[in-house]
Structure 1
Amino acid sequence: MATKPKLYYFRGRGRMESIRWLLAAAGVEFEEEFIETAEQYEKLQKDGRLLFGQVPMIEIDGMVLTQTRAILSYLAAKYDLYGKDLKETVRINMYADGTLDLMLMIALAAFKPPAEKEESLAVVVQKAQTRYFPVFEKILKDHGQDFLVGNKFSWADIQLLEAILMVEELNASVLSDFRLLQALKTRVSNLPTVKKFLQPGSPRKPPLDEKSLEQAKKIFRIK
């Protein structure tokens, strides 16, 4: 029996959440070892398990992998969510990088003082509506297919859904002007593996609250 992938991170979304999403979408069960203290984190660093001294880290296929982008690329290729050829793969990379940029803005805003945080999140919504979502709406309109690349569900689709849901937590009507993205959201959300991940009790993590934020700052010694 194959060993389940094991994920190492704190009890929050952060950079690990996209990895959870991708594994879940591929129908892969995984285990998580949560980092609860700065001492646990420092032990991983001292043991030499973190290539560049930082998480996320996962154990899979006899390997210890770090660096979010590398992990996501490996998983997408392993579970056939990376296109049929190099041309499709590079498009998936472009789209995934765009949504990662958007999600990173949300993640970084959480660590700012309250006034700055509110302003930063307003900028996220504005950029989603004027810079990011129009691009994906045009892609869907131009090729007239059900998914972003090759008319087949891929890493690009699952990460876009993750980004959409994160922005909707900030502004529920953010997709009101994007008919095709609304349809894509519904289509991807209803895929059996994704639908399961969206149910209560799944490994999906909630938005970062103040308690979780303070714990993360202590673990990673962020001032």
Structure 2
Amino acid sequence: MSAKPKLYYFDGRGKMESIRWLLAAAGVEFEEEFLETRDQYEKLLQGGSLLFQQVPMVEIDGMKMVQTRAILSYIAAKIDMYVGGTDDLMGFILMFPFLSAEDKEKQHAVIVQKATSRYFPVYEKVLKDHGQDFLVGNNFSWADVHLLEAILMVEEKKSDVLSGFPQLQAFKARISSIPAIKKFLEPGSKRKPVPDDKYVETVRRVLRMYYDVKAN
């Protein structure tokens, strides 16, 4: 990658966080432009940068790329089966900040239930069966980065969620100790905190998204 990639998104996690994770894991430094006003968004639209009128958008290697999966696929090899499963789990989490208080209580239980009964058992078995350090072969990949991101997000909902998954506990410790990942997990990195009310309000204001989001 010739110049530093430039990321266009909100000052929060959302769909850009997976891209930040992967760039960090690859040791690639990047810059960010945070969307805070409708005018910024309109400028990107009028400039033709947002093919589907959506962010995230990343300037990389002379291209302006949209669609999270396309960006991630460009940065890393395609390991779609495991990444797709992790995406499904993360889908229950990403809209959580936008739910009503009542729906958040319901969705909290759904997230923990889905993680512990559907998704984590699959990865636990994969790691146990092949006895290697990473999900695919014995090479560090996007699938490992994405799974660690999901594990940490679910742990924000239930801190002991891995108590019944010894392979995933070891996996988490192993991936977290990789120097580039360890650096990204340290305070002061570009990893974003749990979405707060300010983040939700900014997203709604910029995208004019005032409808209620329902729990899964």
TM-score of the pair, normalised by structure 2 = 0.95
Segments of structure 2 that go 5 or more residues without pairing to the other structure are: 211-216
Aligned CA RMSD, in angstroms, stands at 1.1
Deviation of 1:7 after TM superposition, in Å, equals: 0.2
Letter in 2 for 1:201: G
**Distance of 2:34 and 2:91 partners within structure 1:** 21
What's the secondary structure of 2:52's corresponding residue? coil
Deviation of 1:2 after TM superposition, in Å, equals: 3.0
**Distance of 1:211 and 1:8 partners within structure 2:** 18
Aligned to 1:202: 189
**Distance of 2:97 and 2:91 partners within structure 1:** 10
Aligned to 1:85: none
Deviation of 1:109 after TM superposition, in Å, equals: 2.0
What's the secondary structure of 2:32's corresponding residue? strand
Letter in 1 for 2:150: A
Aligned to 2:122: 135
Deviation of 1:59 after TM superposition, in Å, equals: 0.3
Identity of aligned residues (%): 65
Aligned to 2:75: 75
1:71-150, aligned counterparts within 5 Å?
71-76=71-76, 82=77, 89=78, 92-150=79-137
Q: Which stretch of structure 1 is more off in the superposition, 118-127 or 67-76?
A: 118-127
Q: Given the alignment, which residue of 148, 157, 178 partners 2:144?
A: 157
Q: After superposition, what is the alpha-carbon deviation per residue over 1:51-86, rounded to whole angstroms, capped at 9, x for unaligned?
A: 10000000000000000000001001xxxxx3xxxx
Letter in 2 for 1:48: G
Number of residue pairs matched by the alignment: 210
Q: Given the alignment, which residue of 185, 203, 206 partners 1:216?
A: 203
Segments of structure 1 that go 5 or more residues without pairing to the other structure are: 77-81, 83-88
What's the secondary structure of 1:195's corresponding residue? helix
TM-score of the pair, normalised by structure 1 = 0.92
What's the secondary structure of 1:110's corresponding residue? helix
Aligned to 2:2: 2
Aligned to 2:53: 53
**Distance of 1:24 and 1:64 partners within structure 2:** 20
Letter in 1 for 2:2: A
**Structure 1 outlier segments of 4+, above 2 Å:** none
**Distance of 2:83 and 2:72 partners within structure 1:** 10
Letter in 1 for 2:56: P
